[in-house]
Amino acid sequence: MIKHNALQKLDIDKRDFNLGAVYPQIKIEEVPNDVGFVVSIPLNIKDQKETDYCSAYALVAVSEDQENIELLPEYQFYKTKEISGKPEDWGADLRDVCKSATKFGSLPATGFEDKKNLSRSQILDKSFWPYSVDIVASLHKKGSYFKVEGRYDVFDNIRTALWQHKQNKCSILTGALWRTTWLDSLDGIIPYTYTNDGFGHAFKIFGQKIINNEIYLMAQLSQGDKVGDSGIFYFNRVITNQEIGPYGMFMFKDVSPEEVKSYTDASKPLCKNFWLYIINLFK
């Protein structure tokens, strides 16, 4: 059972890189609508139990797709709290956990088994994380994170991003107000009707599946493989558009922030001149 995960909603931050600004969004017609696909098969389905580490678990699930090794959510949570500066707050937001991956990286599970299942107070104790650990984690550092937006609805913006970047195994880090009844969804299919009670919960979206001739997005949770469809849940278009977005949607790409900024800065004069040209046409 999930309990008080408290993924925090995001404020708008204009400093976030937009995925489509650097990688122009493909047309929705290019995405298959009659077959399923995944960017990567999940390495494993972890169980966070009754902790507030959901953002860290979702982050390492996304990173594992690209790194192809098991990573430690405990380290990710510690670094997320270091960035937020609010270790006492329950939960975290997706922007801070993204920053933990680009600034510090992620720690492999192999060789650091003693770091698994630490208590929350131990995780937040810096004496458990010597500098040598950061050096190892830096080998799995992400380049930049991008917010996933576009010209379609949330459902199709996610589908185009997954399909466009699947060769690089880029899944999406996101979350929703997780309803208490959703864990009991038959075969992991989120129903059209549900209660209003719930709590913020982070997860990974990594593909689409066709169920009864309808397209569903595939979400990997962190409640083990005894719930849903072996730990996987399915969101249809209606539920996706209603529920996913307020907590953020991010994708990692192996490009440095400096490269992204130089690209976007270089494109601004061109965009400005283009719009001035259009305006002058109608003067």
Per residue of the chain (283 residues), what is the pLDDT tens digit? 444 556 988 888 889 999 999 999 999 999 999 999 999 999 999 999 999 999 999 999 999 999 999 999 999 999 999 999 999 999 999 999 999 999 999 999 999 999 998 999 999 999 999 999 999 999 999 999 999 999 999 999 999 999 999 999 999 999 999 998 999 999 999 999 888 889 999 999 999 999 999 999 999 999 999 999 999 999 999 999 999 999 999 999 998 877 787 666 655 554 444 433 343 444 3
Q: Which two tokens stand for residue 264?
A: 């976007």
Domain boundaries, the chain: 17-281
pLDDT value of position 63? 98
What whole-number distance in Å separates Cα of residue 84 and Cα of residue 37?
35
pLDDT value of position 279? 37
pLDDT value of position 158? 98
pLDDT value of position 92? 96
User: What does DSSP say about strands 144-147 and 17-18: parallel, antiparallel, or unpaired?
Assistant: parallel
pLDDT value of position 124? 97
Q: Which two tokens stand for residue 104?
A: 């510090």
pLDDT value of position 268? 54
Please provide the CATH number assigned to the domain covering 17-281: 3.90.70.10
What whole-number distance in Å separates Cα of residue 100 and Cα of residue 56?
9
pLDDT value of position 266? 59
pLDDT value of position 260? 82
pLDDT value of position 269? 52
